[in-house]
Structure 1
Amino acid sequence: MNHDMPAYGLWFLVFLNSAIFVMFAFSFFKPKTARDWRTFGSFAAFIVALFAEMYGFPLTIYLLSGWLQTQYPDLDLLSHNAGHLWSTMFGGTGNPHFGVMHILSYLVIGAGFYLLSSAWHVLYFAQRANRLAVTGPYARVRHPQYIAFVLIMFGFLLQWPTLLTLFMFPVLLVMYKRLAVSEESDMVSHFGAEYEAYAKRTPRFFPAMSDSMSE
């Protein structure tokens, strides 16, 4: 085991990676209202918690060290690769960065950012014109931006699961659901029957497989 190159304690990388992903998401979401900031803030907290364990202090590895050492006696707990727990538990060999779970995580994260960008483009012009956003991703679901945040977080869980982010994920799902319902109430107050008709034909989170299917 060679620890000449430390895998943790790299707080500059924690700051750098957190800043990149948070600012990238911010550039698309551009929070304005208190609700927007709560949504974005919860996402940012997830990202910071993730990279703090990925490069700062491996809390999950520390808490599970006894079990991991018993189940996987050859595992170097202080190595960066040990943090890829899905690869370890599913018997992955070789560099986990080239494993199926890691590649899948990039695809899911990429899809999330693409959806976030597409949704923001539609919403931006709709808000400027004071009209409903009903085209692009909004033609399929009522809250594509929340779905995008969930996809990004889920992608990171596929790549680097931690106890904290695994706990935060379902909490954030509930939070986004409540925010979505609250947002819909505001839309009804502002757009009235127009939004009610839109909500009736457009699922909240899960796109219908056909026009005849409802949420």
Structure 2
Amino acid sequence: MSGASSVVGCRHSFRWCLSKGYWLGSQFPLLKDTHAGGHLWNDLTNWSGDPHLSPFHLAGYVAIGTGFWLIAAAWKRLHEAAQHDELATTGPYAWVRHPQYDGFLLIMIGFLLQWPTIPTLIMFPVLVYMYVRLARSEEREVAKEFGEQWDAYAARTPAFLPRHRGVRSTTPRPGPHVTSGQQRQPSRTAGSHHSLTGRSR
């Protein structure tokens, strides 16, 4: 593409962005055309104080910090599980079966609370769907390897949302079972790590 064509293309893109900006401004007159206006939730709730100290922004810090902590704690437990060739069931894994994915989702929620944009709001449910699919795929692999041990763990531990201590599920996650006398078949793929055992898969 020539230099002149690039300039023309940039002009068209800039005009398109301006036209969309004017349209959004006309549709949402509460949005401020200042730095503070980048905080969508503050504008919609008419927050007049420091945007970085609003309830939404502070809640975002909590969600992001908790997410990073959860990921770190989960990976520490996964490393221990990999060393002992066992299923991770303690630490964060005593609360939910996929704490590291919960951590990633909390971080995304934190950023959405602080700086939501149209693309990130659209992509968030897509990413949630992808994480759930990945988790289900990993669970099928682990069920093949750990059999009844996995069934017992899955029956008492929810996938993503911690349940009240007094509530126990008696229905195990459906998955392939390992019958007695059947040898375990570890599932490994170079270059990736299993989110439930910490080993390469």
Correspondence for 2:32: 75
Relative to the length of structure 2, the TM-score reads 0.70
Tell me which of 155, 179, 198 is aligned to 2:153: 198
Correspondence for 2:190: none
Matched positions, count: 156
CA distance in 1: counterparts of 2:113 and 2:31, whole angstroms: 23
Give ranges in structure 1 of 5+ residues lacking alignment: 1-56
Aligned residue type for 1:209: H
Question: Contact conserved, 2:25 with 2:31, CA < 8 A, in 1?
Answer: no
Structure 2 vs 1, CA of residues 97 and 60 (structure 1 numbering), >3 Å: closer, same or farther? farther
Q: Tell which deviates more after alignment, 138-147 or 59-68.
A: 59-68
Deviations 1:95-126 (A, max 9, x none): 21111111111011111111111111111110
Q: Answer yes or no: is 1:66 the counterpart of 2:23.
A: yes
Moved over 6 A (4+): 59-62
Structure 2 vs 1, CA of residues 63 and 196 (structure 1 numbering), >3 Å: closer, same or farther? farther
CA distance in 2: counterparts of 1:92 and 1:120, whole angstroms: 38
CA distance in 2: counterparts of 1:149 and 1:180, whole angstroms: 13
Deviations 1:185-205 (A, max 9, x none): 110122122111111111111
Structure 2 vs 1, CA of residues 151 and 209 (structure 1 numbering), >3 Å: closer, same or farther? same
Tell me which of 127, 135, 138 is aligned to 2:82: 127
Larger radius of gyration: 2
Query: What is the CA-CA distance between 1:150 and the residue it aligns to?
Result: 0.5
Q: Where is the helix percentage greater, Structure 1 or Structure 2?
A: 1
Relative to the length of structure 1, the TM-score reads 0.66
Q: Answer yes or no: is 1:168 the counterpart of 2:111.
A: no
CA distance in 1: counterparts of 2:42 and 2:51, whole angstroms: 6
Correspondence for 2:50: 95
Tell me the percent identity: 46
Alignment RMSD, CA only? 2.4
Question: Contact conserved, 1:146 with 1:176, CA < 8 A, in 2?
Answer: yes
Question: Contact conserved, 2:30 with 2:43, CA < 8 A, in 1?
Answer: no
Question: Contact conserved, 1:69 with 1:75, CA < 8 A, in 2?
Answer: no
